[in-house]
Structure 1
């Protein structure tokens, strides 16, 4: 029997709810960040079983603020998610245009929550039964209205990027399908958010070298209690930008 399609955040299905197109990045940014192009060009990179990679160039005929997924219900979309976007909007625009060097203390949790939610929605494009964004984190965000557990968010400057860079890297521990993680990178204008989320404490411990590396290089936004210094990092080289979204370690299994 085929299971009913359910909203990943609230687990409700039709006829209790209906599904709407949820924007991965808010469509209002089309006017708030008019430098964005009218199309997206990116490379879809997947690892083969032999360890090599398949790389497929993709051109999408709309801008980065037009991308949607049809997996989120109208209640979540128009409710708590819209409220979060409204709370984060002005702070994000300040960061896009480098009017601030780092998020203000009173907005850290809001921006960390926004980054985690955006990573979660983007991950819905990749429903292919491979390990990745922890499934239980969706419901936790909806009920607790804050970043999920075992999630870290960093911030740094980049040279101005009008094209908007989005990268989603996911993997898990060999032979342990319950242990998964994602590294998501979001770069708009001068603002870059790097997000790591793990499904288990074991996976989180395996990722500590990656977490500690980012703590040395970038400003920790979340969790606040363990935040390190806030280096005024500016990334000019795109190759360095790409490395933020990739692992230094090589023993994870896609």
Structure 2
């Protein structure tokens, strides 16, 4: 099989979607079961409200056990390992809520690492001759990331903060956003 990033036909290794070191930063999350699959919402033909369908199953061990066999050992133990090492310090500081100055180099590293992990997760389920149901990320994107160590011209990265529904939230004050933005 061809490596997702370098394109070489080599023996594949499994890459963790979320790195194992994150278990230390999220110990409670590491104990949670993982629901692996997709969730779809659609309108009911009967008009009685939205319907939901979940595909996939449940795994133990938290999200830090998910792996995808889409990269060769050379990529996994080489540039990907180096990127993982470089991103760990600023990410751990952010995870812990500590002040961190993200230099231009840190920003580049976080963006590249995020793109790499997103690509591994996206192609992990659909690799090996199977095409993704929607081509959101083209195969040329991971190859460009490998060659240039930069995001391609058609790639846009958006990072978001997730707050579980069980967390207490502050109400949104509209006067803080006078233009509605």
Q: TM-score, normalised by structure 2?
A: 0.72
* Larger proportion of strand: 1
For residues 73 and 80 of structure 1, the distance between their equivalents in structure 2, rounded to whole angstroms, comes to 11
Partner of 1:18: 11
- Across the aligned residues of Structure 1 and Structure 2, the Cα RMSD in angstroms comes to 3.0
Q: Distance in 1 between matches of 2:100 and 2:35?
A: 28
* Structure 2: gaps of 5 or more residues: 46-50, 171-181
Separation (CA, whole Å) in 2 of partners of 1:57 and 1:143: 34
- The match for 2:38 is 44
- The alpha-carbon distance between structure 1 residues 111 and 56, as it changes in their structure 2 partners (threshold 3 A), is same
Rounded Cα–Cα distance in structure 1 between residues aligned with 2:54 and 2:30: 23
Looking at structure 2, the residues matched to 141 and 66 of structure 1 have their Cα atoms a distance apart, in angstroms, of: 25
What are the residue-to-residue correspondences of 1:171-190 with 2, within 5 Å? Answer: none
Is 1:114 aligned to 2:113, yes or no? yes
Partners of 1:69 and 1:155 lie apart in 2 by 21
Contact 2:19 2:64 in 1 (8 A): yes
SS in 2 for 1:98: coil
Q: Where do 1:90-101 residues align within 5 Å?
A: 90-100=89-99
Does the 8 Å CA contact 1:95/1:102 hold for their aligned counterparts? no
* More deviation, 34-43/110-119: 34-43
Give the Cα separation in 2 of the matches to 1:25 and 1:54: 25
Matches of 1:117 and 1:63, distance apart in 2: 20
Tell me, yes or no, if the aligned pair for 2:70 and 2:124 is still in contact at 8 Å: no
Once residues 109 and 136 of structure 1 are traced to their aligned partners in structure 2, the CA distance between those partners, rounded to angstroms, is 20
User: What residue number does 1:64 align with?
Assistant: 63
Q: Which has the higher helix share?
A: 2
- Tell whether the 8 Å contact from 1:69 to 1:121 is kept in structure 2 after alignment: yes
Q: Which has the higher contact order (CA 8 A, sep 6+)?
A: 2
Deviation at 1:134, TM superposition (A): 1.4
What does residue 176 of structure 2 align with? Answer: none
